[in-house]
Structure 1
């Protein structure tokens, strides 16, 4: 079965990163599916654009339409997962399936306090210092073939505070209840914070499946690239016409 028989896949990056985050997945998935990765407003090639949640969701819609292969499986990590939930509300006709990675915790209530503090701190620190720290961290933890594209894209520290503030108070398990397409919650087993609500999220939409990637933390597609690719591939195959 060639790519025209498979649903397209659109990959949406997480906080401070850009489309290069999906370097480990893009080539592998492209062998079987029409696939694209987007830069959200204020990130990567769109670094100069102001953050806007509606615009972020509409960029996913543009990517789906550009692939010209019907409704898409949208895979969102962290910030990108919450944007994907907003996309599902805003463009339900373009969604074939939703994969939430590191985005099954409510952005409401007391758990947001540490993130409000981090957002305030990031806004005060020099971007070049944060860039050096991130580059060193990624190079120490992961091989070049996993993170070189992310490092080349740079980091959207200037967008992080406003993007996070925009998410606060918007998303909880009820956000998933309105999603009409099949849903996979794909979390790193060690991502204890961002999977705190995964069971509540899954209960909100009956039929939602939870998969945990052993040994992986929040940067699950860096920690276990092959496992994430395999999980997304299996989910997308389940949605293929004529299966």
Structure 2
């Protein structure tokens, strides 16, 4: 499938691709690796009375997963999605990979971004050691259209969820393991490789002159909060909220405080 066909898929904005609720200023949610748009259900419910909230599935959760792509392609997809929902611009909220994309979207499409919400994400790349470890983890999945081995799905829970969640809410963790075990291997391989070797954009953050909210789980096992903090110094207008007892999927693990933080940010700044 060519990029043009994929772009048209996002412009079409089918119900199979998006969840679109509420009216008002648009907020678009982009998920992280292994997740899908349903991870933002708590945020859409919290915002629907005052904002138009749209969560969408990125390429890996569609039938267009088999083609190689990068974060620039995902940013173009986000622009096509805005076309599809009939919005010139929006607040872009991205979790992890979705945040990597959101930063690049803001740089590539500055007139189409009103603000950013970066959830458990960062501007710097992963270390060489991390890139090697992640690459080895998904190497057996390259080109596979078979479902992921369940043991692999179970092995990554420690990357996505904080210690408190794994101990106190095992049902949430298990429900996502069940989903991960249904994904085609190539979908996960290409998804991870879309960002694995991404360049550092820290030196370009000063160009993002819109309000930015950084939300980060205190127990994030994949991206420690300290790795997100440098963005505060480089972004012209940014604030950060640490979420106690939450890991890499802080908005899903502790939706109440995250919803409160995002709502306050949107109400005060927009």
Residue 115 of structure 1: aligned partner: 131
* Greater CA drift, 194-203 or 151-160: 151-160
Scaled by the length of structure 2, the TM-score of the pair is 0.73
The answer on whether the counterparts of 2:116 and 2:213 sit within 8 Å (CA) in structure 1 is yes
Decide whether aligned partners of structure 1 residues 207 and 52 sit closer, same or farther in structure 2, where only a CA change above 3 A counts: closer
Which structure has the higher relative contact order (CA within 8 Å, separation 6+)? 1
Matches within 5 A, 1:1-243: 4=23, 6-44=24-62, 46-104=64-122, 106-107=124-125, 111-124=127-140, 127-130=148-151, 133=154, 142=169, 154-155=182-183, 157-167=185-195, 168-191=197-220, 193-240=223-270
Q: How far 1:131 sits from its partner (Å)?
A: 6.4
Gaps of 5+ in 2: 1-21, 142-146
The answer on whether the counterparts of 1:190 and 1:216 sit within 8 Å (CA) in structure 2 is yes
**Helix, strand or coil for the counterpart of 1:191?**
coil
**Helix, strand or coil for the counterpart of 2:44?**
helix
Taking only aligned residues, the RMSD between alpha carbons, in angstroms, comes to 3.2
The answer on whether the counterparts of 1:101 and 1:185 sit within 8 Å (CA) in structure 2 is yes
CA–CA distance in 2 between the matches of 1:116 and 1:151? 26
* Greater CA drift, 51-60 or 9-18: 51-60
**Helix, strand or coil for the counterpart of 1:59?**
helix
Q: How far 1:94 sits from its partner (Å)?
A: 1.1
**Helix, strand or coil for the counterpart of 2:125?**
coil
Gaps of 5+ in 1: none
The answer on whether the counterparts of 2:43 and 2:255 sit within 8 Å (CA) in structure 1 is yes
Q: How far 1:228 sits from its partner (Å)?
A: 1.6
* Greater CA drift, 15-24 or 47-56: 47-56
Aligned length: 235
CA–CA distance in 2 between the matches of 1:112 and 1:200? 19
Residue 9 of structure 2: aligned partner: none
CA–CA distance in 2 between the matches of 1:164 and 1:47? 11
